[in-house]
Structure formats: C-alpha cells, structure tokens
Homo-oligomer: A and B are copies of this chain.
C-alpha cells in the first residue's frame, strides 16, 4: 500500500523530463536507445506503473467492453463470457460484466450504466423490449447482440432454424409424430425463435407440436412434469438442458421410463448433460465461439467498418440415451 510512483518521480530520478520518460516507456522511435534503457531501468527499479485511469482519460478511448447477461449462473452465459473474455483480453480490452437477473428494466439500467465506462457493449441474450433495445442502440458506442437479431448492431446468434430442424428430424426419424415443447422465459428472444422455428419445421414435417410455458432452470423442468405426462406427446423438447434434466428427474421419480415411454431432447448441450440419467440428447453449440465472434464483429466495427453480416452458428445434434423410438400404445396415465 505504498505511495504511487508517478511519471514525474521517474523523470526526477532519471534526470530527464516527463515527456522523455513517457516516450521511452511507450516505445517512441524519436528517442535514443541509451536513454530508453536507462529510463526503463529506473522505472523498473522504482516500481513505476502507469495510472491507467489517467492514461485512458488522456487517450480518450476506453479499453473496456461492457457485457450484460441475464444470469451469471447459467452455464450457457458463463461459456459465452469465457469466449468473449478471452478474445477481448487478447485484444487488450477488459470486460465489465453486468447481470440483469432476467429483468428487462434492470438490463436497461445496466446498459445505461455500462455505457459510461465502456467503449463497446455486448448484450447477451438481451431480454430488452424492442423499445428498450432501440434505446440501447442509440448509445454512443457500438453494440453487439448475442442471440438476438436487430438492425444497426452486430449480431451473433445460434441458427435456431437449423437447430430445430435437426431436433425434429431426429425425433420423426424415431417415429414421433406428436411433440411437446417446454418453453423458456417469456422475455427471451431465443425462446421465441425456438418456438417459431419449431412450429415452422413441425408443419413442414407434418408433426403435431404442442407448447407449454416453462422457464430456464431445473426446477422449471421438474415442475413441468405433470403437464408433460398428461399431454399426448411421445417426445418432449425442452428450452435448455437444465429444464431437460429437471424433467428427467421428475420422470424418474414418477416411474416414467425414458426413453421407452417418453423421449426428451434439448438445446445447448451443457457439459453436465452428458452425465444426466439417462444422458440427454441435445444440440451442441459452440458457446465460447459466440463470444469470440461477438468480439470479432466489435473489432471490425471499432476499426471503422460497417457492421458485418450476422454470424450464425449451426449447432450439432448430440444423440444420447434420452431419445428413442416412439412407443406405440397410449401411455398409461398416472392418477
């Protein structure tokens, strides 16, 4: 907790001026090598560290990118953050992270705050209303949206159209003709996309698609158990793996065999999905890559270019033991 060493201290000690020290430390070419060496030595010895605040202030460009996520504890977002963090750090930027707790109003507040500190914004699965989003985009910094398409901003998203097709084709291939979708948070754009693309594909494949509301956690999945059981579907698609795992748990607790009586599949393929009982069929997507791509778009934009075309990531279906051939007879209902 010693006193801060400033440029002027180094200058005094080295017997030169602050400008010389600054230039020496920043590798300017109009300074003699000996002086550079000397100054570097003195600076090192004194333990000089540039005041980043003053530096960024003077230079005018914040080397920070603000990120909002709905929920820090959701593995999906964690991994996106991981990818984004790595990419941004490699580019000399740091991440300022805000969590909106799935609340659009809070997210708006967050954006409003982060923009004061950041040179760029990344909105991860934004729960913002359309109007809120417009407002966010009016900020004087470039914005990238992950998993939400919008004009005048960078866009990186999962290709849900392809995703839903993969899922439904897998299920129809197993003979399922009636599928139930257990949905996610109402404010989630990606839930909307999943529903939209599922409906569309279901129509094309001549599959009956039912939908119920759900949520994003294991609890939501577990709670959906009775509804699922009483539906006439032979296969269920859940909003994400946490919901899927919760649902599997309910089925086990209530003696419903998966996949012989009911197939369950899901989006995201978080690591733990491979270890559920039975292991969950799910759509693997490169979440970390979402973050990396977001950063790429941002650098291009910061470099002066226009926004590139949206990046769409196509997921890959990982078939595990939670899906199997459709049963023939109507399920025996629990009382």
Q: Could you mark each residue 121-163 of chain A with 1 if its beta carbon is under 8 Å from any beta carbon of chain B, else 0?
A: 0000000000000000000111000000000000000000000
Check: A227 CB closer than 8 A to any chain B CB. no
Check: A222 CB closer than 8 A to any chain B CB. yes
CB-CB contacts below 8 Å: A249-291 with B:
249, 252, 271-272, 274-277, 279
Kindly provide the distance from the CB of A28 to the nearest chain B CB, expressed in whole angstroms.
21
A274 to B250, CA, bound (A): 11
A96 to B144, CA, bound (A): 19
Q: Give the chain B neighbours of A49 by CB distance below 8 A.
A: 116
Kindly provide the distance from the CB of A143 to the nearest chain B CB, expressed in whole angstroms.
10
Whether A79 contacts B85 by the Cβ 8 Å rule is no
Whether B56 contacts A85 by the Cβ 8 Å rule is no
Q: Give the chain B neighbours of A271 by CB distance below 8 A.
A: 73, 217-219, 242
Whether A1 contacts B246 by the Cβ 8 Å rule is no
Q: How many copies does the complex hold?
A: 2
Partner among B53, B99, B117, B218 whose Cβ is within 8 Å of the Cβ of A272: B218
Q: Could you mark each residue 91-119 of chain A with 1 if its beta carbon is under 8 Å from any beta carbon of chain B, else 0?
A: 00011111100000000000001001100
Kindly provide the distance from the CB of A86 to the nearest chain B CB, expressed in whole angstroms.
8
Kindly provide the distance from the CB of A55 to the nearest chain B CB, expressed in whole angstroms.
9
Partner among B99, B140, B141, B249 whose Cβ is within 8 Å of the Cβ of A277: B249
The contact sample of 26 A-B pairs, CB cut-off 8 A, is: A1-B142, A4-B140, A49-B116, A50-B116, A51-B57, A51-B116, A52-B116, A53-B62, A54-B57, A64-B96, A72-B78, A73-B82, A75-B75, A78-B78, A94-B96, A94-B117, A217-B271, A218-B271, A219-B271, A222-B275, A242-B272, A246-B275, A249-B276, A272-B272, A275-B276, A277-B277
